[in-house]
């Protein structure tokens, strides 16, 4: 079995990255397990992070591991990196229904009424994702505006610094002329004495 897994092509390995559904989802969709995809909410059932709940950030088909938001490990140099969890060690508590192929696969064994409920949930999730995307865009735009403002302030400060330096240089240039005039006046007064 292990040799089969390691030598399997990617499209078969993808089907092996599956996890059990929570009890309520099992009853609702009439199936025990399903493939894990990005955006599913899962609960870790085994290991040192047992009991943690989070969204799936990434699915690594080659290694049969998934990365979950909030599940990280600290490296020796102090960096925090995602901790890969095997798909069999998690339980799916909320499905990501934005993928039409996945919805079609889930709806195979369901009645028409249940299919409509699934479609409504999918529409709600799609709206939520669009709202999140809009919020993220707004946040990025605000960051860009702040950066531009900071750059403008820095440029203004630099220009003011340059102007003050130029003014100082002009003053230093003017001072020797005044000093010469003062020296000439002093010499004339000495000669008169």
H/E/C letters for each residue in 65-82? EEEEEEEEEECCCCCEEE
Residue 100 burial by Cβ neighbours in a 10 Å radius (0-12, 13-18, 19+): exposed
Per residue in 72-120, pLDDT tens?
999 999 999 999 999 999 999 999 988 888 888 888 888 888 888 888 8
Residue 58 has pLDDT above 90, yes or no: yes
**Residue whose C-alpha is closest to residue 188's, from 180, 61, 18:** 180
Please, are residues 53 and 43 in contact by the beta-carbon 8 Å criterion?
yes
Which strands sit side by side in the sheet containing 33-35, from one edge to the other?
33-35, 18-21, 90-94, 41-44, 53-60, 65-74, 80-86
* pLDDT for position 179: 60
Instruction: Tell me what the pLDDT averaged over the chain comes to.
Output: 86
* pLDDT for position 112: 87
Least confident range of 33-42, 55-64, 74-83, 177-186: 177-186
Per residue in 37-53, pLDDT tens?
999 999 999 999 999 99
Please, are residues 17 and 34 in contact by the beta-carbon 8 Å criterion?
no
Read off the pLDDT band of 176 (50, 70, 90): low
CA atoms within 13 A of residue 183's CA, in its CB half-sphere: 6
Question: Beta 33-35 vs 41-44: how paired, if at all?
Answer: unpaired
Residue 65 has pLDDT above 90, yes or no: yes
* pLDDT for position 50: 94
* pLDDT for position 84: 95
* pLDDT for position 117: 86
């Amino acid at each position: 079995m292990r040799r089969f897994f390691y030598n399997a092509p990617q499209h078969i390995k993808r089907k092996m990255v599956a996890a059990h559904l929570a009890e309520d989802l099992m009853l609702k969709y009439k199936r025990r397990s399903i493939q894990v995809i990005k955006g599913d909410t899962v609960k870790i059932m085994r290991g040192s992070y047992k009991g943690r709940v989070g969204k799936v950030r990434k699915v690594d088909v080659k290694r049969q591991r998934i990365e979950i938001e909030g599940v990280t490990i600290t490296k020796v140099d102090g960096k925090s990196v995602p901790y890969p969890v095997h798909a069999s060690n998690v339980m799916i508590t909320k499905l990501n229904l934005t993928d039409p192929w996945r919805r079609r696969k889930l709806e195979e064994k369901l009645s028409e009424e249940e299919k409509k409920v699934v479609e409504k949930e999918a529409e709600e999730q799609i709206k939520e994702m669009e709202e999140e995307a809009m919020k993220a865009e707004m946040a990025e735009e605000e960051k860009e505006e702040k950066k531009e403002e900071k750059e403008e302030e820095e440029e203004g400060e630099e220009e003011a610094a340059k102007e003050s330096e130029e003014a100082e240089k002009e003053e230093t240039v003017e001072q020797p002329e005044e000093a010469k005039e003062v020296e000439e006046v002093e010499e004339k007064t000495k000669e008169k004495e």
